A and B are shown apart, each in its own frame.
Chain A
């Protein structure tokens, strides 16, 4: 794994009355332990990866408590884990990135929500929405509504988040329904503190084993005819119970204000931004004291009609501050008010933008439109001038900078083993022409950016091969599907490979075998190299000897199968050309093998440091460019994009264009040289091997060579 959580693990052990300092998502982790969870599962993905990663590393603590931790192979298997809470009085939590993870999990979730749960079941989703999001912009809210699972959206401060985790389990238990907690990116990463409680060892656990399996109760199965009754239960029994609990426990919070004519109803997660917006027009202070009444919904589904009615009654208008589309909450409040015949005017998406993150700027613009209508005394000129000011700032900056700024998308890491595959792909296409490339989710999706700009479609995690099926039907040239080993095990094997095998389709699949789900923090997959082989491999790629993927494919009957080490660009180019052009029918798979460079470096760096400190012989390899022979055409960069292969001003007074240059960040992966050969680029590239603590032999040879060549 990429990160080590030793400090975080310490803070998970804190007891009564101590103070936890740290990130929101780790506060959630601590809250789970304080709630006495029996099991935790999930699938990694920003911004919630740490929840699971830290628990995986905290083996002994989990052992003491008897908590079962299971990093699952996809969100569906994580969601299915919650089945344990249907028949047993055990609390469980799972986590993943939403919306995508919830999409994958939704089958299990429907089947979980229908019979409902006995023990508290909590789903912590990272609501990957707005700035920094890496997925399609949709709301988890829809899933909560369609399956009648309750949706919690806490105010983004640690004490509230922690309290809501604890209350979510109770809510789940009193209403026999799974509960989803949505946390936006910045809420997951917000650093704060809260007073901790002792962790609770669950009553039924890996230490306290359940001796007898649950009795057979047909009503607990998501299977007709009981599914009809389940649907009734959801709305006749569970939802009322949930609403009762929400009110009794005061899960939603009202902040009174002196201007009683208007009320603001806001998703808990947006509360802090709303306060900031109100501060701009002097309607709130630094401590959240507001002049406009606010109803902060820490539970956004279901709403409690009485609560809404009480808040709205007697007001001229209520303004719903609801991020994302469509406006589910506004619609629900609309019908609540109509049914209660409350004639308070309803505002929401009519004054705020429908799509996109609700920043203070966005909220302010909306509030400035609506507040003066109902409260004459409010002066919104600051809001209007603010809008003008920043408009002016942006305009001025754009004018001064004159030309558009070059974008800086994420890039393959230095020495990434996936980069060479795309260099080879570029070269192959120069010879056999362009082909349709269906791409996938994972680091390799970075090839959609310069200098490669590859990919005709992205249809989801592990979907690349499947997404090419239709295209293959009408394409003269075979489409190529790129897939990571992460995506392969997540669902590419089933959705893509088995389907292609079943239909005996003539397809090409490239699997990036780097050994981990690298994009999410190099968590293990079933084909990750075992630590034994890592130690053997040392500096070399540890994935070479790991054959699980190859064996699986052969087991399925894949005949055309090549494993190619990714740094051998020419070999990879030939393999690609053959796969795309060969007469052989059926599925053709190239396993592009090369261990994730992050993991490799994590292993190699300490080894090197150790050896150096012990004065042992260490060879450091890096590449370089001769600026004398570099003509500044940069075709090497167009085939690589490695962060350490950059440009610098030519020292040669005659040359005007910048020359290529390799920085000392180079890890010596060798792609530069391979490309220079494979593409017949130029003679400027050289490999430098630097021998530290040279042996007697080394020194003698060096002396001799130096004497004759004058070079070294």
Chain B
């Protein structure tokens, strides 16, 4: 028995990323080098963005006279020499299937993520933790190399198959020199130049050479607003949030509103006591964050203000990759409902409108989807007029109601900070439920109330914050678990049936 064994290469890509091209490049290289090779694939529903895999076996030397190697068509766990993956989560999948072994496998993975629908559709943050994948890869592979192969591809005007090819060559995965790969790419003609650029960039990247396109690492930004002197002693994380909060509230309304924000934060700090305690610091940081976001709620004037900003159009230009000399037209999809209008009207007017709506009558122009071109003169002026309505915001229905709710939340938080930092920390995150617009917003408000009345209020009343902190956290994540709020209502119902915690505490 000869001890020769084929070199095995597994390529994992997503549909339409050119994994097929890559595996052809590799087999052509083998042919040039005079090595027998075989490639096969499970394309899956390739065009439909599903996961696809390509498997290559090659003999790193010419076959002896009269003999033909018998190559496998299916990769074996623990017996793959090289794994190349175009996407980080797919890399994790390959680890889970046992294809990466510490004594054999070189693992080359793009650090880029293409989020799955399940990750994207969550009401909060459903993304899988990248770092955990990198750590696992480091622990599992004989040699782990990673780089943002997708970015390198975009920067060089090519596709990820080219940068994967370069990464493989750069990491020394092939039993043939670099120029063989490059000749094969050149022979491909179409898009060869871009492919070669991408190949070279990735070749360097996996060898620790910084890509030519310098990473734009943002320098530590200055705090947007100077803090009052009595805040300077706070932990840095809190200081930063407060400063941003001041900027936000000022931008939302005016300097006086920013002062109100500061005043409110100050009350929290007073109630908190030792901010050196990380639990307290966290409670303050989150509190200051949510307070700012809440105070700068999204009503029609706010949306109009944000949509008519010059900086916004600059961002859009960059996002859509406009070339000089091109012209941009932007059209907004708006659907103002009766509630939104009532929100921005003076309180009494607003209430009258809402009564009208509840009586089944509305206004003809409401509840219809409208397209407003913010780059057109009429559309832009209309939105600016709406934005200007913020001058009378303080008298508006929504302002009155939001401030009332904010005060209630602040009172609870002050009490909590004094008694249980954990509970205060959780309570700080409660306003996170107040998300979105229209239906979404109503649902968020309902969930907020349910949690506040069901857990927060009783806990404060009975002084059982410390033991309720855990449950409050659970309730918040339950509220973010599903749009039908079924998880939340289950949790609240379940806890009601338990023996009253108040007694249990005594």
Closest chain A CB from B58 CB (angstroms): 11
Given A624-B319, A681-B440, A712-B330 in contact, is the A287-B70 Cβ separation under 8 Å? yes
- Cβ–Cβ contact B326 & A393, under 8 A: no
Chain B residues, CB < 8 A from A555: none
Q: Does A583 contact B (CB under 8 A)?
A: no
Chain A residues, CB < 8 A from B119: 406, 647
- Cβ–Cβ contact B116 & A689, under 8 A: no
| Cα A287 to Cα B323 with chains together (Å) | 57
- Cβ–Cβ contact A398 & B96, under 8 A: yes
Q: Which of A280, A685, A692 contacts B323 (CB 8 A)?
A: A692
Interface residues of B in 86-143 (CB under 8 A from A): 89-90, 92-93, 95-98, 100-101, 114-128, 132-133, 135-136, 139-140
Q: Does B483 contact A (CB under 8 A)?
A: yes
- Cβ–Cβ contact A394 & B320, under 8 A: no
Interface residues of A in 657-694 (CB under 8 A from B): 657-658, 664, 672-673, 676-683, 685-694
Q: Does B415 contact A (CB under 8 A)?
A: no
| Cα A653 to Cα B224 with chains together (Å) | 11
Chain A residues, CB < 8 A from B116: 406-408
Q: Which of A272, A632, A641, A689 contacts B71 (CB 8 A)?
A: A272
Chain A residues, CB < 8 A from B438: 680-682
- Cβ–Cβ contact A637 & B121, under 8 A: yes
Chain B residues, CB < 8 A from A410: 15, 44-45, 48-50
Q: Does A432 contact B (CB under 8 A)?
A: no
Q: Which of B39, B55, B329 contacts A712 (CB 8 A)?
A: B329
A 280-299 to B, binary, CB cutoff 8 A, 1 in contact else 0? 10101111110100000000
Q: Does B346 contact A (CB under 8 A)?
A: no
Q: Does A455 contact B (CB under 8 A)?
A: no
- Cβ–Cβ contact A413 & B2, under 8 A: no
Chain B residues, CB < 8 A from A657: 124-125, 432
| Cα A673 to Cα B331 with chains together (Å) | 10
Given A401-B96, A413-B47, A682-B440 in contact, is the A708-B380 Cβ separation under 8 Å? yes
A-B contact count (CB 8 A): 348
| Cα A622 to Cα B330 with chains together (Å) | 10
- Cβ–Cβ contact A400 & B140, under 8 A: yes
- Cβ–Cβ contact B118 & A406, under 8 A: yes
Q: Which of A393, A519, A637, A646 contacts B100 (CB 8 A)?
A: A393
- Cβ–Cβ contact B89 & A634, under 8 A: no
- Cβ–Cβ contact A450 & B121, under 8 A: yes
Chain B residues, CB < 8 A from A389: 78, 101
Chain B residues, CB < 8 A from A686: 307, 316, 330-333, 374
Q: Does A635 contact B (CB under 8 A)?
A: yes
Closest chain B CB from A12 CB (angstroms): 18
Q: Does B76 contact A (CB under 8 A)?
A: yes
- Cβ–Cβ contact A677 & B333, under 8 A: yes
Given A361-B76, A400-B135 in contact, is the A132-B42 Cβ separation under 8 Å? yes
Chain B residues, CB < 8 A from A678: 369
Stretch at the interface among A189-197, A214-222, A473-481, A545-553: A189-197
Interface residues of A in 167-209 (CB under 8 A from B): 185-187, 189-192
Given A132-B42, A411-B48, A686-B331 in contact, is the A390-B68 Cβ separation under 8 Å? no
- Cβ–Cβ contact B327 & A699, under 8 A: yes
Interface size on B, residues (CB 8 A): 122
Chain A residues, CB < 8 A from B114: 643, 646
Chain A residues, CB < 8 A from B444: 633
Q: Which of A189, A570, A658 contacts B41 (CB 8 A)?
A: A189
- Cβ–Cβ contact B47 & A655, under 8 A: no
Given A272-B71, A286-B59, A449-B117 in contact, is the A690-B312 Cβ separation under 8 Å? no
- Cβ–Cβ contact B2 & A359, under 8 A: no
Interface residues of A in 322-360 (CB under 8 A from B): 357, 359-360
- Cβ–Cβ contact A390 & B73, under 8 A: no
- Cβ–Cβ contact B298 & A629, under 8 A: yes
| Cα A372 to Cα B86 with chains together (Å) | 43
A 583-615 to B, binary, CB cutoff 8 A, 1 in contact else 0? 000000000000000100000000000000000
| Cα A398 to Cα B322 with chains together (Å) | 44
Q: Does B193 contact A (CB under 8 A)?
A: no
| Cα A678 to Cα B240 with chains together (Å) | 40
Q: Which of A400, A676, A711 contacts B375 (CB 8 A)?
A: A711
Stretch at the interface among B203-211, B241-249, B276-284: B241-249
Given A190-B39, A279-B5, A285-B4 in contact, is the A705-B49 Cβ separation under 8 Å? no
- Cβ–Cβ contact A643 & B49, under 8 A: yes
Chain A residues, CB < 8 A from B248: 654
Given A191-B27, A686-B333 in contact, is the A694-B325 Cβ separation under 8 Å? yes
- Cβ–Cβ contact A631 & B298, under 8 A: yes
Q: Which of A131, A284, A391, A647 contacts B115 (CB 8 A)?
A: A647
Closest chain A CB from B432 CB (angstroms): 8
- Cβ–Cβ contact B333 & A646, under 8 A: no
- Cβ–Cβ contact B437 & A681, under 8 A: yes
Chain A residues, CB < 8 A from B14: 408
Q: Does B363 contact A (CB under 8 A)?
A: no
Which A residue sits closest to B298, measured CB to CB?
Answer: A629
Range class of the A interface residue count: 35 or more
Q: Does A409 contact B (CB under 8 A)?
A: yes
Q: Does B72 contact A (CB under 8 A)?
A: yes
- Cβ–Cβ contact B89 & A132, under 8 A: no
Chain A residues, CB < 8 A from B50: 408-411
Q: Does B166 contact A (CB under 8 A)?
A: no
A 143-176 to B, binary, CB cutoff 8 A, 1 in contact else 0? 0000000000000110000000000000000000
Which B residue sits closest to A639, measured CB to CB?
Answer: B121
| Cα A678 to Cα B367 with chains together (Å) | 10
Which A residue sits closest to B38, measured CB to CB?
Answer: A192
- Cβ–Cβ contact B329 & A629, under 8 A: no
| Cα A80 to Cα B123 with chains together (Å) | 53
- Cβ–Cβ contact B312 & A626, under 8 A: yes
- Cβ–Cβ contact A451 & B121, under 8 A: yes
Q: Does B62 contact A (CB under 8 A)?
A: no
Q: Does B67 contact A (CB under 8 A)?
A: yes
- Cβ–Cβ contact B73 & A156, under 8 A: yes
Chain A residues, CB < 8 A from B327: 690-691, 694, 698-699, 702, 712
| Cα A633 to Cα B5 with chains together (Å) | 53
Closest chain B CB from A360 CB (angstroms): 5
Chain A residues, CB < 8 A from B59: 286
Chain A residues, CB < 8 A from B136: 397, 400-401
Interface residues of B in 419-473 (CB under 8 A from A): 432, 435-440, 444
Given A276-B72, A688-B329, A712-B327 in contact, is the A632-B435 Cβ separation under 8 Å? yes
Q: Does B1 contact A (CB under 8 A)?
A: yes
Quick one: which of A397, A405, A657, A698 has the most chain B CB within 10 A?
A: A397
Q: Does B306 contact A (CB under 8 A)?
A: yes
| Cα A272 to Cα B40 with chains together (Å) | 13
Given A390-B78, A401-B95, A646-B120 in contact, is the A519-B45 Cβ separation under 8 Å? yes
- Cβ–Cβ contact B135 & A634, under 8 A: no
- Cβ–Cβ contact B244 & A132, under 8 A: no
Q: Which of B48, B122, B330, B432 contacts A634 (CB 8 A)?
A: B122
Q: Does B377 contact A (CB under 8 A)?
A: yes
Q: Does B313 contact A (CB under 8 A)?
A: yes
| Cα A471 to Cα B59 with chains together (Å) | 58
**10 pairs, CB–CB < 8 Å, chain A vs chain B:** A272-B73, A285-B1, A287-B69, A359-B76, A394-B96, A408-B89, A410-B50, A635-B436, A688-B328, A693-B325
Given contacts A275-B70, A390-B101, 7 further A-B contacts (CB under 8 A): A187-B73, A286-B5, A401-B92, A410-B50, A451-B117, A656-B289, A683-B303
Which 7 pairs between the two chains have the least Cβ-Cβ distance?
A677-B369, A410-B50, A132-B42, A400-B136, A410-B45, A288-B70, A410-B48
**B residues touching A (Cβ–Cβ < 8 Å)?**
1-2, 4-6, 14-15, 23-24, 27, 38-45, 47-51, 55, 59, 63-64, 67-74, 76-79, 89-90, 92-93, 95-98, 100-101, 114-128, 132-133, 135-136, 139-140, 240-241, 244-245, 248, 289, 292-293, 298, 303, 306-308, 310, 312-313, 316, 319-323, 325-335, 337, 367, 369, 371, 374-377, 380-381, 432, 435-440, 444, 483
